[in-house]
Amino acid sequence: MTPAARIAAAAEVLDRVIAGTPAEQALTGWARGARYAGSGDRAAVRDHVFDALRRLRSAAARGGAMTGRAVMIGLLRERGEEPASLFTGQGHAPAPLTAEEAAAGHAPEPGAEAMDLPDWLWALLCRESGEQGAAALAAQLRRRAPVMLRVNLRAGGRDEARDRLADDGVTAEPDAISPSALRVVDGARRIRGSAAYRDGLVELQDGASQAVVDELHLTTGMKTLDFCAGGGGKALAMTGRADIAAFAHDADPDRMRDLPQRAARAGVHIDRVTLAEAHAQAPFDLALCDVPCSGSGAWRRAPDAKWRLTPEALERLHARQDAILDQAAALTGANGTLAYATCSILASENTARVDAFLARHPGWHQHHSRQWVPGASGDGFFTAHLRRDRH
């Protein structure tokens, strides 16, 4: 596909996303009908679509309409590229700009439009973080996320992992966010085919996700519960840190289906448990709640989510977050730690949930908390460690 044909394909996919289809689904649908597209083409179209979704509102303003075509025109204008050079109508290129399209579009209005957020979210972020803080966060969310790897320190060191990745054409560098983190500089698309990945020496995992686990200060023999284990990324990172008795639970056990194979690949064991089994195993020295959240800290990776979130959905998330903390508190030992984590930059999901927990549970206190903002080493994340008061 020519560069212009890729733009035309991205515009087509964006039209489906704007009409309500999730981005991944829209991309898969397009790829199925585009047998002529090679893997490089599919990757390039995907990059265009995700770049556009991160900047959807400002690109639509610059392009003059909320359509796939106008958004791609707006994106090119923002990059300082002349749309007419690609919109030629030749081959599979998009049709030339009409006179109206050439005249349409304006510089985004300061605030939510320029910051690429829905109005209500921009207002919320400004209330929570101040206008300067909100602008800095929103600016990060308009950029691409880094590709980060976690080295399984049980299987080898970071330098060894970097060298083995280099043998397979993946350039990665140690990153200060975590002793296990490598930041991929080049060759990201070769990771899954590399020997280091296949042998379990590295896993794809965001840098802040790794740092959250570092902060748990795991020691040999600890009995731990990953209460919202999902695919088990955090549970695996925990077993990579120390010889712990690791248990994993999820309200949707199907999400943990690949965990046994992933654990075997990493050379560790993690027991999957139902809620009743978790109660039978309690008390735990550590219960980690990596709760369902807006995902706002990771909107660079899933940019359509920032356009889909509603105030009502956020309210419902708060209620689920509170309920999960209450459930996991009952499983945490007298001297144990209840660790709360979100990949969110919204205080309403972070400090406000901790404050609400402490108000509902006299006799508990916050021992530690930390917020990571989205940046060059990872996503936005929050964690807080809660403990019972000692008498």
Site residues, ligand SAM (CB under 6 A): 227-231, 233-234, 250-252, 255, 290, 292, 320, 324
**DSSP H/E element including 148:** strand 147-151
Beta bridge partners of 186: 171
Rounded (5°) CA angle 357-363-368: 60
Smallest distance, Å, CB 204 to ligand SAM? 11
Q: How far is the CB of 39 from ligand SAM (least distance, A)?
A: 26
Nearer to ligand SAM, 105 or 380 (CB): 380
Minimal distance in Å, beta carbon 233 to ligand SAM?
A: 3
Cα dist. 279→90, 317, 328 in Å?
66, 24, 10
Cα gap 145→343, rounded to integer Å: 14
CA 159-163-165 angle, to 5 degrees, is: 115
Cβ-based nearer residue to ligand SAM, 4 or 228: 228
Q: How far is the CB of 250 from ligand SAM (least distance, A)?
A: 5
**Beta carbon nearer to ligand SAM, 111 or 230:** 230
Query: In the complex, what is the shortest distance from the CB of residue 227 to ligand SAM, in angstroms, rounded to a whole number?
Result: 6
Coil vs helix vs strand at 129 = helix
| 320 or 361: CB nearest ligand SAM | 320
What phi, psi does 251 have (nearest 5°)? -60, -25
CB proximity list for 279: less than 8 A, separation 6 or greater: 330, 331
Q: Which is nearer to ligand SAM, 6 or 234 (CB)?
A: 234
CB of 148 to ligand SAM, least distance (A): 13
Q: One-letter amino acid identity for 22?
A: P
Cα–Cα distance between 6 and 8 in angstroms, integer? Answer: 5
Residue placing its CB nearer to ligand SAM in the complex, 83 or 295: 295
